[in-house]
Chains A and B, each alone.
Chain A
């Protein structure tokens, strides 16, 4: 049994309420979507759904009963010819109410009430399966898109790690070649780009002094940053000019990180 409406009638008298609801239903079936106050939309919903149920039945008696509420024959024809058959497989719930902010002028809370779309084949199949099992499941929502986002984020992080340790981002990669931190990063990058598990063995390479690296600090115990800093100090002391030590590299100043 439907819950009786609480509170006073819309418009003041029962007759006024009936007329207002009839006009609202007529406009809803004519346009498919109307904006009204929340209170009117909530009162309209049960009436409109009852009329759609009559339209689904589709016989002459139902049409005459609908004509007692909706006086416009064009709208009744549209209701029985288009709206009723559209909801052939939908077990109720033909309208949707969405709240849209307060109205300017009297600050009344407004809502949009609209006729919902016809059931798709997939929704219909899910409904039938649930009825057969006697259970109800929540429809999965946008699970695939979030998973794809995580995957792309992971690959971006890995490629980012490879880019920062590569020759483009570091001023003196040869100095710290044998250190552990760089090896780890390079191993990760190698894992990404050679999926068969083949890793390059860079631990055998011993850093040697070159033209662009006048000094090399080779010690396994200290971290690569400290080694690089120490090498730069020694280099600057040997060359006698600390300010232009970075220009000794063949590429001049280090390239900027593309990111």
Chain B
């Protein structure tokens, strides 16, 4: 079976891994005035549990 002919250099390994980047999540402030925490859009707020003025999750 096919195997690598050469050991991969430290430089090439590190160059490849330099592209592994984290991205910031999209967040929007909770429309509930009493909460106002940042939350992912189109989701029930994980802090206050409301979505569209309705209590969705018990907190």
Contact = CB atoms under 8 A, between A and B. Distances in A.
Interface string B41-53: 0111010000111
B56 A101 contact: no
Given A98-B51, A98-B56, 12 more contacts: A98-B44, A98-B54, A99-B43, A99-B44, A100-B46, A100-B56, A101-B43, A101-B44, A101-B46, A112-B44, A112-B56, A112-B57
Interface of A: 98-101, 112, 142
21 contacts: A98-B44, A98-B51, A98-B52, A98-B54, A98-B56, A99-B42, A99-B43, A99-B44, A100-B43, A100-B44, A100-B46, A100-B56, A100-B57, A101-B40, A101-B43, A101-B44, A101-B46, A112-B44, A112-B56, A112-B57, A142-B53
Question: Which of B40, B52, B56, B57 lies at the interface centre, i.e. has the most chain A CB atoms within 10 A of its CB?
Answer: B56
Interface string B16-59: 00000000000000000000000010111010000111101100
A101 B46 CA distance: 7
Contacts of A101: 40, 43-44, 46
Contacts of B53: 142
User: DSSP majority for the B interface?
Assistant: loop
Contacts of B54: 98
Contacts of B52: 98
A43 B56 CA distance: 20
Contacts of A99: 42-44
A112 B58 CA distance: 12
A112 B45 CA distance: 13
List 4 A-B pairs, minimum CB-CB distance, nearest first: A100-B44, A99-B43, A98-B56, A98-B51
A144 B42 CA distance: 25
B44 to A, nearest CB: 5
A142 B52 CA distance: 12
A73 to B, nearest CB: 31
A239 B1 CA distance: 105
Contacts of B56: 98, 100, 112
A100 B59 CA distance: 12
A142 B51 CA distance: 15
B54 to A, nearest CB: 8
Contacts of B46: 100-101
Nearest to B44: A100
Contacts of A112: 44, 56-57
Nearest to A142: B53
